[in-house]
Amino acid sequence: MVGIVGTVPDLQFPLCHGPAKLIGGRLNIGGRDIPVNRGTPALLAAALKAAEWAGSREIYAFLVGDIGLGEGSRKLYAFLVDHLAEYSFEVLTFHYVQPDVDWHAKILFAIESMKQRPILIADAGFMYAAKMSGQAASYDFFTPDVGELAFLADELAPHPFYTRGFILHQNNQVPDLIRRAYQHDNAAAHLVVKGQPDYITQGNEVYATVDHPSFAAMEAIGGTGDTLTGLLTVLCSARFELTEAAVLAARVNRWTGVFADPNPATQIIELIETIPRALTGVMEHSHTEKPHG
């Protein structure tokens, strides 16, 4: 089973956990209906589409309403600290939660108490907390975009908002930023750097790059990073090698563009709808197409 932890942008949404479903283009968890926009709902919807295509693995979600005040996130942190040991996940993905170093440390302790350590993926706010706490190496995957990679590479920055200019200027030097992130122990075992190309790392080495198909407009579309993390989550649970899962996830995410024909005003749900076709296309070609490594 796969676990996904995150927030929804609705202050009234209570802490909710259970198997997530996608019904008529909307998420459903415990009978509660959630529209699929960017953020954790987009990640979940992408994961559900991929799981359905793959013959269905259950996606178990832990969600709470939070609009940035952090109260919902703190409730969610507290719940996970008390209850994570009761669950068993192959992959556990943390997403949009308010970054909080103290709570992050407690979550890592709670993971230690699980019977089996899941593959750990951190994205968005939880990745920020993981880096800031100095415990990035506890994770199997971080999934930064290039701006967030610069933050990981800046050993002094507690948030991307404070990334120093001289590091931000290295935007075109992704391999240097990757090296710097590992040099200061601020990267997970693997990185999937979302950009053009996407970089997949293993240890401190670039394992592969994925650069096609390419749609410049996808950078502007809110949620394309979330869908990549959702795909990665499911593919990691599908008995692929972790690096192979990452390469496939990057490819599938790009292939959604082939079917959705995106422009900068395209909304993420339009790309999510095409995930099954993209998965079919990528899997058919995966034996002939080799990533650049």
Partner 1 sequence: MIDFLRKRKEGRVTKKNQGASAGRGILVFENTSDVIQAENVLKKANWSVRVMGPPPEIRTGCDLVIEFPLIEELNIRRELKQVCIEPLSVVPVTAPLLEPVDLFQTKDFGDYLMVRAANMKITVAKKDFTIVNISGGGCPDVPYLAQEMVGKTLADAPRPRDLGHTLCGYALELAYEELRRKW
Tell me which residues touch partner 1 (CB under 8 A). 7-9, 37-41, 66-70, 72-73, 96-102, 123-129, 132, 145, 147-148, 151, 156-163, 165, 168-169, 171, 216-217, 219-225, 263-267
Supply 51's token pair. 């799981």
Pick between residue 132 and residue 178 the one whose CB is nearest to partner 1: 132
* Strands 190-193 and 198-202, bridge-based pairing: antiparallel
Q: How far is the CB of 152 from partner 1 (least distance, A)?
A: 11
* Strands 119-122 and 91-94, bridge-based pairing: parallel
If 0-12 CB within 10 Å is exposed, 13-18 middle and 19+ buried, where does residue 82 land?
exposed
Helix axes 224-236, 242-260, angle to 10 degrees: 140
Count of residues making up the chain: 293
Supply 17's token pair. 């956990």
Q: Are 153 and 131 in contact (CB under 8 A)?
A: no
C-alpha–C-alpha distance, residues 293 and 286, integer Å: 15
C-alpha–C-alpha distance, residues 185 and 198, integer Å: 21
Q: How far is the CB of 210 from partner 1 (least distance, A)?
A: 19
Give residue 73's Cα distance to chain centre: 17
Q: Are 289 and 252 in contact (CB under 8 A)?
A: no
Give the full edge-to-edge strand order of the sheet including 32-35: 32-35, 26-29, 16-23, 59-65, 2-8, 91-94, 119-122, 141-142, 190-193, 198-202, 205-210
Pick between residue 153 and residue 208 the one whose CB is nearest to partner 1: 153
DSSP bridge pairs for 198:
210
Pick between residue 69 and residue 137 the one whose CB is nearest to partner 1: 69
C-alpha–C-alpha distance, residues 122 and 144, integer Å: 9
Q: How far is the CB of 279 from partner 1 (least distance, A)?
A: 23
Q: How far is the CB of 92 from partner 1 (least distance, A)?
A: 17
Pick between residue 26 and residue 286 the one whose CB is nearest to partner 1: 26
Pick between residue 103 and residue 207 the one whose CB is nearest to partner 1: 103
Q: How far is the CB of 259 from partner 1 (least distance, A)?
A: 19
Pick between residue 44 and residue 208 the one whose CB is nearest to partner 1: 44
Q: How far is the CB of 22 from partner 1 (least distance, A)?
A: 18
Pick between residue 90 and residue 270 the one whose CB is nearest to partner 1: 270
Contact partners, residue 172, CB within 8 Å, separation at least 6: none
Pick between residue 203 and residue 264 the one whose CB is nearest to partner 1: 264
Q: How far is the CB of 15 from partner 1 (least distance, A)?
A: 14
